[in-house]
Amino acid sequence: MRRLTFVILLGLICILHAPSAAMAQGTGVSFGVLQTDTSQPVDIASDNMSVNQEDGSALLTGNVLIIQGEMRLSADNVLVVRRTEGNGIERLEARGNVLLVSGEDAAEAREADYTIQSGTVVMRGNVLLTQQGNTLGAEQMTVNMTTGNATLSGRVRTTLPGSGGN
């Protein structure tokens, strides 16, 4: 927990002291549990599903919930894209009211793409990351679910607490 707070504060110090460099490169933070096993099965639930027989994709709509280990992804709609060779899922494309939860951390956005094999989630559109009561906002956040590392970019913003007096 202290490591996470240290990483957030270090990122904020970089923003405050070198705003142009920090905005160009993005701000790094930790996200979720330290490691997620991306080889674990992906459980999917939704109200409706339409399957495209030509390419094997499936469109999930209504209360979509996707679970893989400690990671939970929910959205209005998710397109499940199957691998072109072999079995399994290549990526998930979530749209509308996207919520990604890993451990105690949560992030919201308009859309997210999750590439299963690399364990990379890219969230876009008014991203709001909540960690231990602190919030960070950005236009985009890229999370490596294997390492737990995340990068926020595109007008990163937060509010720092005051000193509390004395």
| pLDDT for residue 57 is more than 80 | yes
Give the pLDDT confidence of 129-141 residue by residue, as tens digits. Answer: 988 878 889 999 9
Residue 25 has pLDDT above 80, yes or no: no
Rounded to the nearest integer, the mean pLDDT of the chain is 78
Rounded average pLDDT over 41-51: 91
163 burial level (CB within 10 Å; 0-12, 13-18, 19+)? exposed
Report phi then psi at 42, rounded to 5: -110, 115
Which amino acid is residue 102, in one-letter code?
S
Extents of the domains making up the chain: 29-155
* Residue 40 confidence class, pLDDT cut points 50, 70, 90: confident
**How many whole angstroms separate alpha carbon 10 and alpha carbon 28?**
9
Tokens for 47, please give them.
């109200």
pLDDT over 80 at 38, yes or no: no
CATH of 29-155, one of 3.40.50.10320, 2.60.450.10, 3.20.20.140, 3.30.9.10: 2.60.450.10
**Which is more confident, 25 or 62?**
62
Residue 34: band (very low, low, confident or very high) from pLDDT cuts 50, 70, 90: very low
- For residue 126, the model assigns a pLDDT of 95
pLDDT of residue 26: 56
pTM above 0.85, yes or no: no
> Residue 166: what pLDDT?
55
